[in-house]
């Protein structure tokens, strides 16, 4: 099977410990047992290596901690209640921000030196899924419309493991 990019996989593996320590440091309370973090065996894994936080609320626990951390940084502006409709191209061809709409339907232009597109994927397209309906592929479509390279789109998790 081995379909992963070996360089990317190695980078993820080497950075995993640091990422977990960072998340723990910003307030994610990973589930613990008597001997430390409680690791779980998940589908498709050969060894127990998955951490959970607050039982089955891992995603929510991570998101809450990261939002609180970002809000306290001082140099990160958090915007909520917006629906992004398109990414804006800069003079150099890169992403220079986005155009979105607030809850009242007013257009909002967001300028940004750097853009992180974290839209939830496309698992919500399936009729049987634990993904929210917001995970409909809109973010992927926006990225592709601006020339982003993507890989592994055939690997979609649309059910709990």
Q: What is the pLDDT of residues 113-140, one digit of tens each?
A: 888 888 888 888 888 888 888 889 999 9
Has residue 107 been placed in a domain?
A: no
Domain count, the chain: 1
- In sequence order, what are the residues at sequence separation of 6 or more whose Cβ sits closer than 8 angstroms to the Cβ of residue 70? 76, 78
pLDDT for residue 161 is more than 60: no
The answer, yes or no, to whether residue 16 has pLDDT greater than 70, is: yes
Residue 27: partners with Cβ closer than 8 Å, 6 or more residues away:
64, 65, 68, 69
Domain membership of residue 142 (yes or no) is: no
List alpha helices for the chain, DSSP H.
6-25, 58-73, 138-145
Q: Highest-confidence range of 3-12, 20-29, 47-56, 81-90, by mean pLDDT?
A: 20-29
Which tops the pLDDT comparison, 147 or 51? 51
Is 62 inside a domain boundary?
yes
Q: What is the enclosing helix (H) or strand (E) of 48?
A: none
> Is the Cβ–Cβ distance between 95 and 153 less than 8 Å?
no
- Among residues 63, 45, 42, 37, the alpha carbon closest in space to that of 120 is found at 63
Question: Confidence band (pLDDT; 50, 70, 90) for 160?
Answer: low
Q: Is 55 contained in some domain?
A: yes
Which residue range is the domain that position 61 belongs to? 1-76
| pLDDT on residue 159 | 61
Its pTM stands at 0.79
Percent of the chain whose pLDDT exceeds 90: 60
**Interatomic CA distance for residues 16 and 111, integer angstroms:** 31
Distance from CA of residue 65 to its chain's centroid? 14
Does residue 72 fall inside a structural domain? yes
pLDDT above 70 coverage of the chain, percent: 97
Task: Select the more confidently predicted residue: 56 or 98.
Answer: 98
Is 25 within the bounds of a domain? yes
Of residues 1, 3, 2, the one with CA closest to residue 151: 3
User: What Cα–Cα distance (Å) separates residue 70 from each residue in 56, 88, 111, 114, 115?
Assistant: 24, 23, 18, 15, 15
pLDDT band at 96 (very low <50, low <70, confident <90, very high): very high
């Amino acid at each position: 099977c081995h379909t992963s990019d070996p360089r990317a996989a190695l980078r993820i593996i080497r950075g995993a410990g640091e990422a977990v320590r960072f998340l723990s440091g910003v307030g994610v309370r990973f589930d613990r047992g008597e001997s430390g973090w409680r690791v779980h065996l998940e589908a498709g894994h050969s060894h127990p290596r998955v951490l959970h936080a607050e039982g089955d609320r891992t995603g929510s626990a991570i998101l809450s901690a990261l939002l609180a951390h970002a809000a306290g940084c001082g140099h990160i502006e958090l915007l909520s209640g917006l629906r992004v409709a398109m990414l804006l191209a800069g003079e150099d061809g890169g992403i220079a921000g986005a155009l979105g709409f607030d809850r009242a339907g007013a257009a909002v232009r967001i300028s940004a030196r750097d853009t992180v597109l974290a839209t939830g994927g496309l698992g919500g397209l399936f009729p049987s899924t634990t993904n929210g309906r917001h995970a409909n592929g809109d973010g992927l479509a926006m990225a592709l419309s601006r020339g982003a390279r993507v890989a592994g789109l055939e690997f979609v998790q649309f059910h709990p493991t």
